[in-house]
Amino acid sequence: MASPHSPDIRFLRICFLLPICLFILFPPRPVLSQCKKLPVIFNFGDSNSDTGGLVAGLGFPVNLPNGRTFFGRSTGRVADGRLLIDLLCQSLNASFLGPYLDSLGSKFTNGANFAVVGSSTLPKYVPFALHIQVMQFLHFKARTLELFSAGSGHLINDEGFRNALYMIDIGQNDLADSFAKNLSYAQVIRRIPTVIMEIKNAVQAIYDQGGRKFWIHNTGPLGCLPQKLSLVQKKDLDPHGCLSSYNAAAVLFNEGLRHLCQEMRSGLKDATIVYVDIYAIKYDLIANSTKYGFSSPLMACCGYGGPPYNYNIRVTCGQPGYQACNDGSQFISWDGIHYTEAANTIIASKILSMAYSTPRIAFDFFCH
Ligand SMILES: *[C@@H]1O[C@H](CO)[C@@H](O)[C@H](O)[C@H]1NC(C)=O
Ligand SMILES: *[C@@H]1O[C@H](CO)[C@@H](O)[C@H](O)[C@H]1NC(C)=O
Ligand SMILES: *[C@@H]1O[C@H](CO)[C@@H](O)[C@H](O)[C@H]1NC(C)=O
């Protein structure tokens, strides 16, 4: 038995007064995600996070070779394999998010995915604009709680909705559509505040329903997409071979989104709003591609036409005549617009590192 004056006990007595000692006595556990509660996630967005919404909603086929890498079949994801949202779900040991519009197979016990390929924030009342996705969520929530109180088990309850993570990844198509309509750079820029306002309205609507935890991705370097590079005639290229004006618009959009998040953090009481700089992660991946093991950062794996971009709008990936590279793990771009699973895996690990998040909060913060 230790005497009351043994050095150990004295050490403990002094030690409890000093925070640094708490680290010695109770070292922090390694960052291995173990949710205490079942993680519930609701996601809103475009093809960057669509896990099958387009196919379910409009019957639009997304053909092989999409899906070839991980799933071995087409799942409706426009990519060879897993998307960022899939990898983030896996980091929590959670199952993949089912598309809200899928009437078969989805049980919606861990949330729902409202993202659909091609979605933007504006115009507001077309399928499946952000506003419509939020309306669908409101319906989903009302209906789920109704069924829950009628005794249906295994559904998300009120607490589940309150503790859920609400993810938003949208804006890329707003910018891309503006450029595609031949708007001048100045005109594209002038539309940005209304797009930001739509994202603000979406967060506010979810907050009004009790949502408190938000995870918002900014938009990637639009001017580095092989599709844009192949379609634009007069190219003003930056040192990494990307379209300067497209990237400048993405940077301005992201500035607006970052400000919005900052503003909402002080305006929305008790809300946690994490802003993630996807642009910085993707631009680094492209600019330093060799360091990450990729050879042609601006060329699509799956498309038509060969170097430099392997993109042809008439023969896109999965359409008759397309050609796909043998090894997608050497490419960043899958089809000229979307990233390969290999790229997404690196991007996801950078997201999980917290280095690109404001504030620096771990992705699993909402399920503890
Ligand atoms: C992940 O889930 C599996 C089964 O669903 C379980 O056996 C395992 O313990 C879980 N791991 C963690 C880290 O939660
Ligand atoms: C945009 O401009 C290009 C080249 O001037 C032209 O070929 C194309 O048809 C225009 N697109 C639209 C939507 O006006
Ligand atoms: C490329 O990597 C270098 C060294 O890590 C870094 O300083 C630079 O910011 C990266 N480029 C981009 C565009 O992120």
Residue 269 CB neighbour total at 10 angstroms: 7
As a whole number, the mean pLDDT across the chain is 92
The model's pTM: 0.90
Overall domain count for the chain: 1
Tell me the backbone φ, ψ of residue 208, rounded to 5 degrees.
-60, -25
Ligand nearest to the CA of 313: 2
288 lines ligand 1 (CB under 6 A): no
Which of the four pLDDT bands, split at 50, 70 and 90, describes residue 245? very high
| pLDDT tens digits, one per residue of 204-223 | 999 999 999 999 999 999 99
CB 64 within 8 A of CB 318: yes
Which of the four pLDDT bands, split at 50, 70 and 90, describes residue 107? confident
Residue 340 lies in a domain: no
Residue 20 lies in a domain: no
Residue 197 lies in a domain: yes
Nearest CA to ligand 2 atom 6: 182
Which of the four pLDDT bands, split at 50, 70 and 90, describes residue 153? confident
Domain at 235, CATH number: 3.40.50.1110
Residue 129 lies in a domain: yes
CB 258 within 8 A of CB 333: no
At which residue do the structure tokens 């604009």 appear? Answer: 129
Nearest CA to ligand 1 atom 7: 93
Residue 112 lies in a domain: yes
Residue 337 lies in a domain: no
| pLDDT tens digits, one per residue of 9-42 | 444 444 444 444 444 444 444 445 679 989 999 9
Residue 22 lies in a domain: no
HSE-up of 142 (CA within 13 Å, CB side)? 6
Residue 95 CB neighbour total at 10 angstroms: 14
Catalytically annotated residues: 47, 335, 338
Task: Give the CA angle between residues 253, 45, 155 to the nearest 5°.
Answer: 145
Q: Which of 283, 278, 242 is nearest to 350 (CA)?
A: 278
Residue 229 lies in a domain: yes
Q: Rounded to the nearest whole angstrom, what is the distance from the C-alpha of residue 133 to the centroid of ligand 1?
A: 31
Which of the four pLDDT bands, split at 50, 70 and 90, describes residue 131? very high
Nearest CA to ligand 3 atom 14: 284
Range of the domain at 38: 31-290
Residue 157 neighbours by CB under 8 Å, 6+ apart = 145, 148
pLDDT, mean of residues 280-301: 98
